[in-house]
Amino acid sequence: MEYEYTITKDVYEWMISGKKKIEIRLYNEKSSKINIGDYITFNVLDDDNLKLRVQVTALLKYKNITELLNDVDSELIMYNYPIEQAEELLGEIFGIDNVKSHDVIGIKFELI
C-alpha cells in the first residue's frame, strides 16, 4: 500500500541525510493501516518540489510518546534533540494532550 504524510523541511533534511530513521505519528485510523513493506511519500510543507519516498521496515506501537522516547534512541527520531525537547516539539505538532494520552506509532523506514 501507499500512504502520504506531510513533514517540515528540517525533518526532510534529517531523513535524506540518514540521521532520522523513525517517523512518529499518532496511532489513528490512517496509521493503524500501515504495514511492514508499505510505502510512504513524505511531502514537504510549503515546498511542493521536495518529497521523498520510503519503505516501512518496522512498526513500533506505544501507549504514549513518553514510553516510545524512553525505549527508542531519540536521535533516530528527532536528530540532535534530547528526549525532553523531542517530547515538547511533538506536543506542538500533534497537541500535548494527544501525545500524552494517545497511542503512538514509530515507523522505521528505508529511503528508496
Question: In angstroms, rounded to a whole number, what is the distance separating the alpha carbons of residues 49 and 27?
Answer: 28
Written as one letter, the residue type at 108 is K
Query: In this predicted structure, what is the pLDDT of residue 79?
Result: 64
pLDDT, tens only, 36-53: 999 999 999 999 999 999
Topology adopted by domain 2-111: 2.30.130
Grid coordinates in use for 80? Answer: 540532535
Cα dihedral 79, 82, 87, 88 in deg (nearest 10): -100
Would you give per-residue pLDDT tens digits along the chain (112 residues)? Answer: 999 999 999 899 999 999 899 999 999 999 999 999 999 999 999 999 999 999 999 999 999 878 888 888 877 887 667 777 777 777 888 887 877 778 999 999 999 9
pTM score over 0.95: no
Grid coordinates in use for 54? Answer: 520510503
What are the boundaries of each domain within the chain? Answer: 2-111
DSSP 8-state code for residue 34:
-
